[in-house]
C-alpha cells in the first residue's frame, strides 16, 4: 500500500455583492468572496490537497480561471472532477484535514454542515474530514477582514 499526502492553500478577497461559500455551504454575511468561480476558498484548498497527494498538479492547471466554463462554477463540481482524476490515477482519499482562516463571521455554527458537505463529496464518513477555523487576531489580510484563507492536507492511499 502506498500512502501519499498533499497540501492545499488558497485565499480570496472579500467584496460586496458576492456569496460567502465555504465547503459548499453558503453562509449569511454582508459580503462574500471574489473569484472566477463561486470562490469557495476551502473547497479550492481541498482540491489542491487531493491533486497534490496524487502528484496531479494544481487547481489552476485543471480548471483555469480564463475558462468561461468555470465562471461562477460550483466548486464542489470542480472537486468531483478532481476526484475523478485522482481515482483514475489509482488513489483513494482516506482523510482530509482543513483550517479556515477567517476573521468573521464565526465558522463554529456552520462547522458540522461544512464537514458533512465535504465528506459527502469526498465519499468519506464525516469522521474522516476535519474542519478547523482560526482568526488572524487582527493581523494581516485575514485579521483586517480583507479576505479569507484556507489550508488543507489530504491523505490518499493506492492499494
Ligand atoms: Mg481559489
**41-53 and 111-122 helices cross at what angle (nearest 10)?**
40
Greatest CA span in the chain, whole angstroms?
Answer: 48
User: 12 C-alpha vs ligand 1 centroid, how far in Å?
Assistant: 6
Percent of the chain residues topping a pLDDT of 70: 100
Give 90 Cα–ligand 1 centroid separation in angstroms: 26
CA–CA distance, 61 with 25 (Å, rounded to integer): 25
The CATH code of the domain that includes 66 is 3.30.1330.50
Task: Quote the ligand 1 centre to 51 CA distance (angstroms).
Answer: 14
If pLDDT is split at 50, 70 and 90, which confidence band does 70 have? confident
Mean per-residue pLDDT over the chain, rounded: 96
Q: Tens of pLDDT along 83-142?
A: 999 999 999 999 999 999 999 999 999 999 999 999 999 999 999 999 999 999 999 999
Q: Residue 68: which pLDDT band, with cuts at 50, 70 and 90?
A: confident
pLDDT of residue 140: 98
How many CA atoms does the CB half-sphere of 141 hold within 13 Å?
11
Non-local CB neighbours of 58 within 8 Å, separated by 6+ positions: 48, 51, 52
Q: What is the mean pLDDT of residues 37-56?
A: 97
What is the predicted pLDDT for the residue at 69? 84
Give residue 21's pLDDT: 98
Compute, in angstroms, the gap from residue 143 CA to the centroid of ligand 1. Answer: 19
Q: Compute φ and ψ for 38, nearest 5 degrees.
A: -75, 0
How far, in Å, is the centroid of ligand 1 from the Cα of 8? Answer: 10
The confidence score (pLDDT) of residue 142 equals 98
pTM strictly above 0.95:
yes
Residue 150 alpha carbon to ligand 1 centre in Å: 9
Spatial distance between the Cα atoms of 129 and 148, rounded to a whole number of angstroms: 20
Examine the pLDDT at 67 and tell me if it is beyond 90.
Answer: no
- Report the pLDDT averaged over residues 63-87: 91
- 113 φ, ψ (degrees, to nearest 5): -65, -40
Query: Separation of 159 CA from ligand 1 center, angstroms?
Result: 31
**Of 50, 20, 51, residue with least CA distance to 34:** 20
Count of structural domains, the chain: 1
Full domain range(s) for residue 78? 2-158
pLDDT at 14 over 90: yes
16 Cα: distance to centroid of ligand 1 (angstroms): 17
Amino acid at each position: 500500500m502506498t500512502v501519499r499526502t498533499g497540501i492545499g492553500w488558497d485565499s480570496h478577497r472579500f467584496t460586496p455583492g458576492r456569496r460567502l461559500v465555504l465547503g459548499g455551504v453558503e453562509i449569511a454575511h454582508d459580503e462574500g468572496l471574489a473569484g472566477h468561480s463561486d470562490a469557495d476558498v476551502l473547497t479550492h484548498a481541498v482540491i489542491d490537497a487531493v491533486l497534490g497527494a496524487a502528484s496531479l498538479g494544481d487547481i489552476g492547471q485543471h480548471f483555469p480561471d480564463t475558462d468561461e466554463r468555470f465562471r461562477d462554477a460550483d466548486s464542489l463540481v470542480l472537486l468531483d472532477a478532481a476526484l475523478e482524476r485522482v481515482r483514475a490515477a489509482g488513489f483513494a482519499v482516506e482523510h482530509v484535514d482543513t483550517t479556515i482562516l477567517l476573521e468573521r463571521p464565526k465558522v463554529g455554527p456552520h462547522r458540522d454542515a461544512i464537514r458533512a458537505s465535504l465528506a459527502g463529496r469526498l465519499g468519506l464518513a464525516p469522521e474522516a474530514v476535519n474542519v478547523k477555523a482560526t482568526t488572524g487576531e487582527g493581523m494581516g489580510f485575514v485579521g483586517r477582514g480583507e479576505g479569507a484563507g484556507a489550508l488543507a492536507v489530504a491523505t490518499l492511499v493506492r492499494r
